[in-house]
Structure 1
Amino acid sequence: MGDVVEGRSVYKVRLFLWRLCTGTLPTRALLHYRHMIDNHCCPWCGEEETVSHVLFLCPRVTKLWGESGCAQLLEGVAHKPMKEIVASWARAEKKLQRRAVMLAWCIWMERNAKVFNNANTANSIILARVRRAIDEHDMYAKKIYGVQSGGGTESAKTWKAPTRGVIKLNCDASLACEGWVGLGVVARDCEGQVLFAALRRVRAQWPVEIAEGTSLLMAVRLAKRFGYENVVLESDSQVLISRLSKAMVYFSDLDAVLEDILMSSSCFNSLVLSHVKREGNVVAHHLAKIVPFGIEQIWENHSPVKVEPYVFMDFLSKDE
């Protein structure tokens, strides 16, 4: 399922696929089994409304699968688990995968329109919706996930200043204090001047990657708050930068954080994701260890005294 339900799927379609694969799509058969309704019949043909029936086998939808050119993906739908069916789509050509996913989604929306509004839509209009959904999805994905990474170059060992007009945000997290997570973000311009330094302390027991991902999310939200348009997001977590660069988002707790980062980044004119080695991220690293007054603390146009030596060292190395 990972190849079909990839990070570039819009959230509602991904949620639909997740419910489809986990058997939690609220068909009438499922609701009847749970004693929530009395009627388990398909709103179109009167047969029992199972997932496979309403999406693939009902006479109302079989023609849609044929006209869309996706009928070849329905082999064994009456007998295989939904997760296996969707996983098998990963072997198909990418465009066919997307068409099948969007068609299944549109069929489910059409089913809901029938159930709740007794509405009926012509097949030609439904297929047009599928094509439009794919086009809109492509534009959405390009805007949200069309970020740049540093490419194949080796990660820097020292902090490098961004180009003029671009703001670089370095982020890190600290788990040094048991039961607490410290988040540190520092924003600097092309001259190496600190625009703001921010830290936040959260009571949590997070794995390292979730903590560092949350620091990246904090950086994105602060960049939006300060009105930055061209941003470099830099971290010493190679895993996070790689996942974000490839828009590799699935369904774990970490993926929920990555999804928030990518969606929140859509407001920027440009976003570059950059990995730097630990020695090039020392300001954010030490900033995350400071205990703030309260939950969050922000210094504008300067940094806390404890990290000023590291800021100065980065300033000296910014043009190397």
Structure 2
Amino acid sequence: MRVNQRHIRSDGLCKICCCEGESIIHAIFLCSKVRGIWDFSPFAELLGDAPSVSFSERLLWFHLKVNHDDFLLFVSLAWAAWAYRNSIVFEEPWQSREVGVLGFVKLVHDYSEHMKAVSCVSNRAGGVSRGSWVLPDAGVVRINTDAAVFEGWGVGLATVIRDCHGVILDVIVRRLQAQMQVAMAEALAARMGVYLARRLGWDRGGA
């Protein structure tokens, strides 16, 4: 689907470049405001060979071409490029593109590390490692939250809620254009997690 079909611009041209069709590929990889993200990335050469018919085709191509860690980095940069360009289109530009990109990379990395912990839940009778994620009791949900603070970019908040089977019930990621101490950001993330759980109909959760 092309971005102009979502009624962002009637003539179908990029609002920033004003010379190319505003496709998803253009918005994330080719627009003048995001091209620098990729020119200095480890994927600069690969992008020259990557398919350009659709974003989904390009995503699959990269998934087959690079290792797991590099693929996560690629996804992080794509997400950051999309968010940064949107901030310009909607006239709320980031103070620093570089710091903002690092923020997205950190959020994806932290979530990946969390998922590794979830997949390594210990079932040993002798005890459970403090580094392992543990299933909550039946009838209880577990709320996991995280926060990142970057000067010139803002605050990133993330919440994941799972049930007693480890099934993800909901996920929220938010960016706040504000500066605060890490402890305050973590408190806001925890508050967001409790609010989300209550909105889902739960009134208590595992720590």
TM-score by length of 1: 0.36
Assess if the C-alpha contact under 8 Å between 1:42 and 1:49 holds in 2.
Answer: yes
For residue 59 of structure 1, give the secondary structure of its aligned residue in structure 2: coil
Q: CA deviation at 1:89?
A: 1.0
What CA distance in whole angstroms lies between the structure 1 residues aligned with 2:41 and 2:3?
26
Equivalent residue for 1:89, pick from 40, 45, 62: 62
Q: CA deviation at 1:77?
A: 4.9
> Higher relative contact order at CA 8 Å, sep ≥6: structure 1 or structure 2?
1
What CA distance in whole angstroms lies between the structure 2 residues aligned with 1:221 and 1:38?
53
For residue 39 of structure 2, give the secondary structure of its aligned residue in structure 1: helix
User: Are 2:168 and 1:263 equivalent residues in the alignment?
Assistant: yes
What CA distance in whole angstroms lies between the structure 2 residues aligned with 1:163 and 1:223?
22
What CA distance in whole angstroms lies between the structure 2 residues aligned with 1:89 and 1:105?
15
The aligned residue for residue 254 of structure 1 is none
Equivalent residue for 2:21, pick from 22, 41, 48: 48
User: Are 2:23 and 1:66 equivalent residues in the alignment?
Assistant: no
What CA distance in whole angstroms lies between the structure 2 residues aligned with 1:220 and 1:130?
29
Assess if the C-alpha contact under 8 Å between 2:76 and 2:104 holds in 1.
Answer: yes
For residue 140 of structure 2, give the secondary structure of its aligned residue in structure 1: helix
Assess if the C-alpha contact under 8 Å between 1:30 and 1:50 holds in 2.
Answer: no
Distance 1:84 1:107, change over 3 A: same
What CA distance in whole angstroms lies between the structure 2 residues aligned with 1:42 and 1:148?
51
What CA distance in whole angstroms lies between the structure 2 residues aligned with 1:43 and 1:163?
60
What CA distance in whole angstroms lies between the structure 2 residues aligned with 1:77 and 1:59?
19
The aligned residue for residue 147 of structure 1 is 121
TM-score by length of 2: 0.53
Distance 1:52 1:77, change over 3 A: farther
Deviation per CA, 1:7-43, whole angstroms, max 9, x where unpaired?
xxxxxxxxxxxxxxxx4xxx632314xxx76353323
Code of the aligned partner of 1:49: E
Code of the aligned partner of 2:4: A
The aligned residue for residue 222 of structure 1 is 138
The aligned residue for residue 3 of structure 1 is none
The aligned residue for residue 252 of structure 1 is none
Q: CA deviation at 1:116?
A: 2.7
What CA distance in whole angstroms lies between the structure 1 residues aligned with 2:16 and 2:57?
26
Unaligned runs of 5+ in 2: 129-134, 143-161, 170-207
Unaligned runs of 5+ in 1: 1-22, 150-161, 167-218, 228-256, 265-320
RMSD: 3.6
The aligned residue for residue 110 of structure 2 is 136
The aligned residue for residue 3 of structure 2 is 28
Code of the aligned partner of 1:92: V
The aligned residue for residue 145 of structure 2 is none
What CA distance in whole angstroms lies between the structure 1 residues aligned with 2:118 and 2:24?
31
The aligned residue for residue 88 of structure 2 is 114
Code of the aligned partner of 1:263: I
Larger Rg belongs to: 1
Structure 1 vs Structure 2: percent identity of aligned residues?
A: 21
